[in-house]
Amino acid sequence: MSFRRRHPLSTIVVLAGLALAPVSVHAACRTGDTALADERALAAFRTALDESCPCDAYDGAAGGTRGAFRACATAVLEDARASGALDERCVATAKDVVATSTCGTRGVACATVTGGSTPHATCTVTSTSACRTRTGRTVLPGLDRTSATPPISPFGDRSGTSRQACTSADFCADVVEWTAGTCLDTRENGPYGAGFRDVRLVKPSAYDPSEERVLDAVVWYPTTPEAGPIEPRSGAVRDAVLDGSGGPYPVVMFSHGSCGYERQSLFLTPWLASWGFIVVAVPHPGNTISEFPTCGTPSAQAKSAVERPRDVVFALDWILAAGDDEGSPFFGAVDAQNIAMTGHSFGGLTTYLTTAIDDRFTVAVPMAPATGQRSTLTIPSLTMYGTIDSVVSRPGIFAAYERSSAPKRLVGIEDAGHYAFSDGCFPSADCDPPTTLTQEEAHERVKRQILPFLEVWLKGDRRWTPFLTTPPPPGVTSRVD
């Protein structure tokens, strides 16, 4: 995996001075009312920098030295400064990005994660040989690659320090902000390709058992990267052969929003499959976009509140049975012990409802959830919301979080509304770029939160723990209990 020449929405980082110039804090940039504009100006600077001064052209040889790169970068910076594209408040931040790049150095971005009462990630440019955890020092437990056991609480304090070379990174800014010092970049696809299958499930109605409910579900799963052409409607390769090399794979059940549909969040569902998860999404008949506008009536929603959790449980029963069926393409690939429930909006409420009636779920991730007075979670949870959401009740989300059991994490995506968790959005105050985040900007922030949580809590992969223990990047608020 490589994350060269990526243009982060955010580029400021906090670094310890170990080699070359450390990245420092410039509080005036990316704060207050100008934060989002500053983020975009810095991202535009990075784009211009990568186009005019591509890091691959500066390999430390004659003409490709660090000095040559900095001269080129300075010219790009001065152009942005003179044109007003980059506010004076953010010039120092942009200089820090340049100063802590590997371009022209023949060095590597060396990530350091330090535990203790205030865990944090830092980065500096140094030689590969110097970038290692020294003998006699404690390795941060969150980076222990040999353990398959999740930490008792990945949100707790950590002691010790671990260092590693991020050989695919050109900028320390990316290493700290986008990988939390792990060298794992959530902006990328995972090591697998994504396959999918359409599955028709038929069950009795929970509301009226004399009626049948037809659930045209979709299942995303890991396949080989070269499996075949990606079908745009599903973001994956149809009926691809499942790659069982990393299995069995944890299961993620996804529930769509009111008047939504099972493929509403393709930025997320096939992407999770590429990281080694089996994702099952079911439609909720009576409350889908194909039934608009009656899908949103009070009676339809009241009925759906009864049907939805049973739809999910029925689909869960099916995928677990498929994992045990020698004739199924999912045979032997389903991890029945590690199951997540997630959903958006009404699907978030469905997350509360479903986990309350089925104790097979081990983690929950409600996204911009609708809530009720008794909504609560008793399993490890990540609750996400947009800070300008005008569709669901943010006080309701906060109250449900307070009622829920620890360990739990509450994450707010700043400048994002209700539709940050779906592919599309309705033009409104919730989705009004450039005043709000674009969908791409919002999705990158959402993915940076959800993947590490699932990797730690479902797979026990402690390499991802620093994402959960170090401070969130700019533009994201978090609370941990």
Which CATH number belongs to the domain containing residue 370 in this structure?
A: 3.40.50.1820
User: Are 359 and 245 found together in one domain?
Assistant: yes
pTM: 0.90
Residue with tokens 């039934």: 291
User: Are 320 and 448 found together in one domain?
Assistant: yes
Number of folded domains that form the chain: 2
Instruction: Note whether 400 and 381 are within 8 A (CB).
Output: no
Single-letter amino acid, residue 390: S
* pLDDT of 436: 96
User: Are 181 and 203 found together in one domain?
Assistant: no
Listed residues 185, 220, 246: the one ending a domain: 185
Give every CB contact of residue 478 below 8 A, 6+ residues apart in sequence: 409, 410, 411, 412, 471, 472
Listed residues 185, 201, 216: the one ending a domain: 185
Residue with tokens 């000095």: 67
* pLDDT of 115: 82
Element (H, E) at 72: helix 66-83
Instruction: Note whether 455 and 249 are within 8 A (CB).
Output: no
Element (H, E) at 178: helix 172-179
User: Are 243 and 341 found together in one domain?
Assistant: yes
| Residues 77/81/83/86 CA torsion (nearest 10 deg) | 90
By CB atoms closer than 10 A (0-12, 13-18, 19+), residue 30 is buried
DSSP one-letter code for 438: -
User: Are 141 and 250 found together in one domain?
Assistant: no
Residue with tokens 């745009």: 232
| Residues 61/63/69/74 CA torsion (nearest 10 deg) | 160
Across-strand partners of 195?
Answer: 221, 237
Distance of alpha carbon 11 from alpha carbon 292, whole angstroms: 42
Residues of the chain with pLDDT under 70: 1-27, 134-159
* pLDDT of 3: 47
Residue with tokens 């186009």: 51
* pLDDT of 159: 58
Distance of alpha carbon 244 from alpha carbon 414, whole angstroms: 38
User: Are 235 and 359 found together in one domain?
Assistant: yes
* pLDDT of 192: 98
User: Are 306 and 270 found together in one domain?
Assistant: yes
Distance of alpha carbon 446 from alpha carbon 463, whole angstroms: 19
Residue range of the domain that includes 416? 193-480
Could you tell me the two tokens for 336?
A: 């029945």
* pLDDT of 10: 41
- Rg over alpha carbons for the chain, rounded to the nearest Å, is 23
Nearest-5° angle of CA 450, CA 434, CA 384?
20
Q: What are phi and psi of 77, to 5 degrees?
A: -65, -45
Distance of alpha carbon 436 from alpha carbon 384, whole angstroms: 17
Instruction: Note whether 368 and 350 are within 8 A (CB).
Output: no
User: Are 176 and 199 found together in one domain?
Assistant: no
| Residues 189/329/252/258 CA torsion (nearest 10 deg) | 100
User: Are 353 and 461 found together in one domain?
Assistant: yes
Listed residues 139, 161, 185: the one ending a domain: 185
User: Are 1 and 140 found together in one domain?
Assistant: yes
* pLDDT of 134: 65
Instruction: Note whether 197 and 270 are within 8 A (CB).
Output: no
Distance of alpha carbon 125 from alpha carbon 383, whole angstroms: 36
How would you classify the pairing of strands 408-413 and 381-386?
Answer: parallel
Instruction: Tally the residues of the chain.
Output: 481
Could you tell me the two tokens for 386?
A: 């947009």
* pLDDT of 133: 76
Residue with tokens 């170090």: 470
Distances (CA, A) of 297 to 247, 286, 294, 302: 42, 10, 5, 9
User: Are 230 and 121 found together in one domain?
Assistant: no
User: Are 181 and 210 found together in one domain?
Assistant: no
CB neighbourhood size of 49 (10 A): 25
